[in-house]
Amino acid sequence: MNQTAVQKTEPVKQKILVLFAHPVFQTSLLNKSLLAALPDESEITLHDLYECYPNFMIDVAHEQELLRNHDVIVFQHPLYWYSSPAILKEWMDLVLEHGFAYGSEATALKGKKFISVVSSGGDVQNYQGERDIRSLLKPFEMTAKLCNMDFLPPFITFAGLKIKANNFDDGVSENYLQQQVELYRQLIDDLLNNQIDSSGLSNLNIINEHYQNLGHD
Amino acid sequence: MTEAFVIASLFLGLAVLLVPLANRLNLGSVLGYLIAGAFVGGILTWVAPMMGMDTDHLLEQLNHATEFGVVLMLFIIGLEIQPSHLWRMKTTILSAGGLQVSLTALLIMAVAMFGFKLSWQMGMAIGLTLALSSTAIIMSTLNEKGWQNTVGGKASFSALLFQDIAVIPIIAVIPLLAVSVPEATEHTAHGIDITAHLPTWLKPLVVVGAIVVVYVLSRYLINPLFDYIARARQKEIFTTAALGLVTLIAALMSLIGLSPALGVFVAGVILSESEYRHELEADIEPFKGLLLGVFFMTVGAAFNFALFAAEFGLIVGLTLGLIVLKASVLYVVGLVLKLQRVEHALFFLALAQGGEFAFVLLTLAVGNHVIDTSIADTLRIVVALSMAITPLLFLFYEKAVLAQMNKTEEKSRQADDIDESNRVIIAGVGRFGQIVARLLQYNQFGVTAIDNNPDMIDTLRKFGWKVFYGDATRMDLLHAAGIESATAMVIAMDDADKVVDLAAYLVKHHPDLKLFVRAKDRTIAYQLKHMGIESVYRETFESSATMGEQVLRHLGMRAYQAKRSKLRYQQEDEILVKQLAASYMEEDESGHVLRVQEQLDNLAQVLSNDQHVKQYSLGNDSGWDESTLIEDLGNKPQD
């Protein structure tokens, strides 16, 4: 009885795998800023797919081993044509094999947390209505659910183009990117310490709202 | 002077006529020189008396002059023997050569002593002389046929290397075999021996001293001297120095009564590790070739036709006996070396003749009264005949041993041809074609290979490949390999000229056959592209571009950016090659230069273009370029 109480108050750190895909990272601003905020912890593995597999020759066994060894899987990428850059799709096609990731016998990913960290060039207004960001990312959500993963709403950073152009207005302030970096740092910290629970977030469209609500409180 | 011109013209003229002919008949140049010499000898016996000269005396004089060719040959052999290289090959050289020379010499000695009742000294001299094979004939044939790197070829080379080195002690031993020592041996009689008056105990010291002088000279003085000459950039002075070095050492050795050949050989070995080795070899080579050629001609001129006619039965018997005896010993040596069937056959057929050194050694032995002149004359004819038969043995190897391999292959191919519809023929399964072949095999596609390396064929067959031996440019071979039913042909031989020839032939006679062709370099690629061949692969293009990609990564570039940059570069270069191929083949040289200049200007323009540079930073892809999007921010779409 006493022992479990100790475990609850001091949870073991979760291991996080960041699967990062950006074909022109050298010109990136949002993702560069976000990744710079990743704490230097041994529990966090940053896996840069375009850097590892410029020939798209993905090492499936290695990738599956990485998945097995982590508790939280993060897909981090810019939004290209309402989806991910090509290599991440290739990665999903090859690595999430039947029998490993899904199927009646598959348990490898069961219960692991899944979250998308997506950056976009357009403003938040561009992703409403029929282009609602959560519904655009539905394929990732469905994938995570088919793999019996614990799906968390995505973390979105908007307005990459305006920020690059230094073209700020009421919707996008000069501090916007800095605030996003702070939220990202907090999100990673919560994931690391297992402080986040999907059941309490099911009514949220994107996880950003959760932190903004906390801020308002 | 007139006589000198007449004789020189005779020798050189006949050499020019007969040596290429001998080469064309696959007889080798040594035999060509011998035959030309025999003609000269015939003509001289008719011409010399008219000019008031004695033929024998004339030939003897010439022989002395051209012995310098032998000295130069030993210098070059020394240059080719790098001690470090030799050390690595020591086991093969010793087992292949040591066993062959000692066994052959002993057997021949036994035949001479018990069969012909000669003294043991004479038997030994003859045995050592005949144990040697013809480096000149064998090496040139092996190179010509492309067999030098086969296991059989390498074993032959090792044995020859041992023989070439063994010549030096044999030259030293033969004078010691003299039965009755005359007042001075002829070898030193026509020179000045400054050690003649020294007490006996001092002589060895002088010899050691001389060798030390040669060593010090070669090791420490030659490089600085050649550095000095090289800086002067005068080619002819370099040649002069190289020749001067050889004559100096030869003179030094003669002066103390040693063999000049031994001295220059030692100098050659020491200089073989020098950086000037290749220059020395290139400078001496023409002189060696010329003088050695004339030396063989003087041997041929002394060819005793009367003796040949008189002792025809004996000489033919001795020749065949020599070949059988040498081949048998080599067969045993081959067993010791664990050579496989095909390699074994090459080894014991190739080395079964007497060699050019026999002529040198016989002259030396006669001069030192070790062998009688009449016996030496007979043996000269035997050696020359055995050399003449060698090309026939090579021909037998090629037509019987190797061709047999193709026959069985052809049968098995025809048997299972029916169920193979996706068959590819690969010409040349060396370092390039092999990769193509293996990739096809992994994917269960039938491959028929053509290659002229017998070892490769043996190995590949063990893994169930269909392999034909021979030159892929031969029509009958292409037919045997099933060119009519093949769906594609990979042309991947090492020899770029043959690649072009074969491609041209196939484009003309099998226009429907899909060709994949290896191009050694850009100009070969131009030629192939110009024939209308689509699939041309420059052999270093992919690996050098990949290396460039990796260097970019090392410099901090993102992997995917480097990758796309490499791909774009290759794409642009391929277009360039296609454009230049047309101008290269159609215009004359200056036209092509102009076109190249034009293309370079275009390239410079492209490279200096800002857009181009920006694209490179984006991995060449404007699809990822956000700049126009940012500019467009806030603008309404136009209707």
**Which whole number is the average pLDDT over B94-112?**
91
- Residue in A with minimal Cα distance to B624: A24
- Answer whether residue A4 shows pLDDT above 50: no
Q: Rounded to whole angstroms, how far apart are CA atoms B503 and A181? A: 63
Give every CB contact of residue A193 below 8 A, 6+ residues apart in sequence.
A11, A13, A14
CA pseudo-torsion sign A162, A168, A170, A176: positive
Q: Which residues are CB-neighbours of B625 under 8 A, at least 6 positions away?
A: B614, B615, B618
Q: What is the dihedral of CA B494, B498, B500, B505, to 10 degrees?
A: -140
Q: B618 CB contacts (<8 Å, ≥6 apart)?
A: A24, A27, B561, B624, B625
8-state DSSP, A127? G
Q: What is the predicted pLDDT for the residue at B319? A: 93
Burial A59-76 (b: 16+ CB within 10 A, else e): eeeebbebbeebbbbbbb
Of B624, B630, B633, the CB nearest to A24: B624
Closest-approach residue (CA) in chain A for B621: A24
Average pLDDT, chain B: 80
Residue A36 lies in a domain: yes
Q: Who contacts B254 (Cβ-Cβ below 8 Å, separation ≥6)?
A: B188, B191, B192, B193, B260
Cα–Cα distance measured from residue B445 to residue B231, given in angstroms and rounded to the nearest whole number: 59
Taking CB atoms and an 8 Å cutoff, what residues of chain B touch A27?
A: 617-618, 624, 626
Burial (CB < 10 A; 0-12, 13-18, 19+), residue B522, is middle
3-state secondary structure of B89: coil
Residues of A engaging B, defined by a Cβ cutoff of 8 Å: 23-27, 50-52, 54-55, 121, 160-162, 164-165, 167
CATH code assigned at A86: 3.40.50.360
Give B607: exposed, middle or buried? Use CB within 10 Å, 0-12, 13-18, 19+.
Answer: exposed
Q: Which of B549, B550, B555, B560 to mutate to test the interface with A (most CBs of A within 10 A)?
A: B560
Q: What is the mean pLDDT of residues B410-428?
A: 66
pLDDT of residue B190: 46
List the single range of A79-93, A140-154, B50-64 with lowest mean pLDDT.
B50-64
Q: pLDDT digits over A180-205, tens only? A: 999 999 999 999 999 998 888 888 99
ipTM computed for the complex: 0.84
Instruction: Please list, in sequence order, all residues whose beta carbon lies within 8 angstroms of the beta carbon of residue B76, skipping any fewer than 6 positions away.
Output: B268, B281, B284, B285, B288
**pLDDT class for B195, splitting at 50, 70, 90?**
low
∠ CA B125-B130-B136, rounded to 5°: 130
pLDDT beyond 50 at B185: no
A156 three-state secondary structure: strand
CB B230 within 8 A of CB B278: no
- Please give the pLDDT value at position B418: 41
User: Predicted confidence band at B592 (pLDDT cuts at 50, 70, 90)?
Assistant: low
Where do the H-state alpha helices sit in B397-495? 403-416, 433-442, 454-462, 475-480
Domains identified in chain B and CATH numbers: 58-388 (1.20.1530.20), 400-592 (3.40.50.720)
Least Cα distance to A160 among A127, A206, A202 occurs for A127
Q: Counting Cβ atoms within 10 Å, is residue B40 exposed (0-12), middle (13-18) or buried (19+)?
A: buried
Q: Which of A24, A26, A165 sits opposite B630 (nearest CB)?
A: A165
Question: How many angstroms away from the CA of B542 is the closest CA of chain A?
Answer: 14
The rounded distance, in Å, linking the Cα atoms of B335 and B100 is 12
Selected residue with higher pLDDT from A7 and B319: B319
Q: Which among B558, B617, B619 has CB closest to A51?
A: B558
* Helix locations, B146-276, DSSP H: 151-173, 186-189, 202-216, 222-232, 235-255, 260-271
Query: Binning pLDDT at 50, 70 and 90, where does residue B456 land?
Result: confident
Residue A54 to residue B624, Cβ atoms within 8 A: no
Q: Is the C-alpha dihedral spanning B557, B538, B469, B455 positive or negative? A: negative
Q: How confident is the model at residue A6 (pLDDT cuts 50, 70, 90)?
A: very low
CB contact under 8 A, B559 and A161: no
Q: B432-442 b/e with 16+ CB inside 10 Å = b?
A: bbbebbeebee
What is the reported pLDDT for B605?
Answer: 63
More confident residue, B422 or B276: B276
Residue B425: its H or E element:
strand B424-427
% chain B with pLDDT above 70 = 85
Tokens of A164: 């690059």
Measure the CA–CA gap between A17 and A64, rounded to whole angstroms.
12
User: What per-residue confidence (pLDDT) applies to B546?
Assistant: 95
Q: CA B460, CA B438: separation in Å to the nearest integer? A: 11
Domain hosting residue A176, numbered range:
13-216
Instruction: Give the nearest chain A residue to B620 (CA atoms).
Output: A24
- Number of domains forming the structure of chain A: 1
Residue A55 is given by DSSP the state T
Other C-beta atoms within 10 Å of B241: how many? 20
Closest CA relative to residue B216, chosen from B265, B271, B166, B258: B271
Q: For residue B597, what are its two tokens?
A: 């200049």
Examine residue A4 and state whether it is found in any structural domain, yes or no: no
Domain membership of residue A5 (yes or no) is no
Flag whether A7 is in a domain. Answer: no
Sign of CA dihedral B503, B504, B506, B510: positive
Q: What is the pLDDT of residues B127-159, one digit of tens each?
A: 999 999 988 778 777 877 777 777 888 888 888
Predicted confidence (pLDDT) at residue B602 exceeds the cutoff of 80: no
Torsion of CA B251, B252, B256, B257, to 10 degrees: -40
User: Which residue of B558, B562, B633 is in closest CB contact with A25?
Assistant: B558
Are A161 and B626 within 8 A, CB to CB?
Answer: yes
pLDDT digit string (tens) for A38-76?
A: 999 999 999 999 999 999 999 999 999 999 999 999 999
Inspect the interface and report whether the beta carbons of B634 and A167 lie closer than 8 Å: yes
> Are B334 and B347 spatial neighbours (Cβ–Cβ below 8 Å)?
yes
- Looking at residue B180, its pLDDT comes to 55
Rounded distance between C-alpha atoms, residue A207 and residue A214, angstroms: 11
Interface of B with A (CB under 8 A): 557-563, 617-619, 621, 624, 626, 629-630, 633-634
Say whether pLDDT at B543 is over 60: yes
Nearest CA in chain B to A22: B560
Q: What is the average per-residue pLDDT within B315-332?
A: 93
* Residue partners of B73: CB distance under 8 A and separation at least 6: B288, B292
CA distance B303 to B455: 40
Domain assignment present for residue A8? The answer is no
In a domain, A153, yes or no: yes
In chain A, the N- to C-terminal Cα span, in Å, equals 34
A-B Cβ pairs (cutoff 8 Å, strict): 46
Answer whether A164 sits within 8 Å of B618, measured CB to CB.
no
What type of residue sits at position B407?
K
- B563:A161 CB<8 A: no
User: Cα(B401)–Cα(A10) distance, rounded to whole angstroms?
Assistant: 82
CA nearest neighbour of B291 among B17, B136, B70: B70
Q: Which helix (H) or strand (E) holds A190?
A: helix A176-192
**CA closest to B556 among chain A residues:** A26
Phi and psi, residue A156, nearest 5°: -115, 135
Geometric angle at alpha carbon B254, from B251 and B256, rounded to 5°: 115
Q: Please give the biggest Cα pair distance in chain B.
A: 119
Task: Return the beta strands (E) in B495-625 as ranges.
Answer: 514-519, 535-538
pLDDT for B440-453, tens place per residue?
888 888 888 888 87
Give the per-residue pLDDT at B402: 78
DSSP state of B94: I
Please compute the mean of the pLDDT values over residues B542-563 and round it to a whole number.
93
Which of A197-206, B58-67, B300-309 has the lowest average pLDDT?
A: B58-67
Query: Which of A3-7, B239-243, B634-638 shows the highest mean pLDDT?
Result: B239-243
Residues from chain B contacting residue A160 (CB–CB below 8 Å): 626
Dihedral sign for Cα A194, A199, A205, A211, please: negative
In a domain, A1, yes or no: no
Residue B591 pLDDT grade (very low, low, confident, very high; cuts 50, 70, 90)? low
Residue of B nearest to A167 (CA): B633
User: What's the rounded Cα separation, in Å, for the pair B82 and B278?
Assistant: 12
Which residue among B561, B563, B634 sits closest to A26, beta carbon to beta carbon? B561
Q: How confident is the model at residue A79 (pLDDT cuts 50, 70, 90)?
A: very high
Chain B neighbors of A121, CB-CB under 8 A: 626, 629
Q: What average pLDDT does this structure show over A161-170?
A: 87
Min Cα distance A166 → chain B (Å) is 10
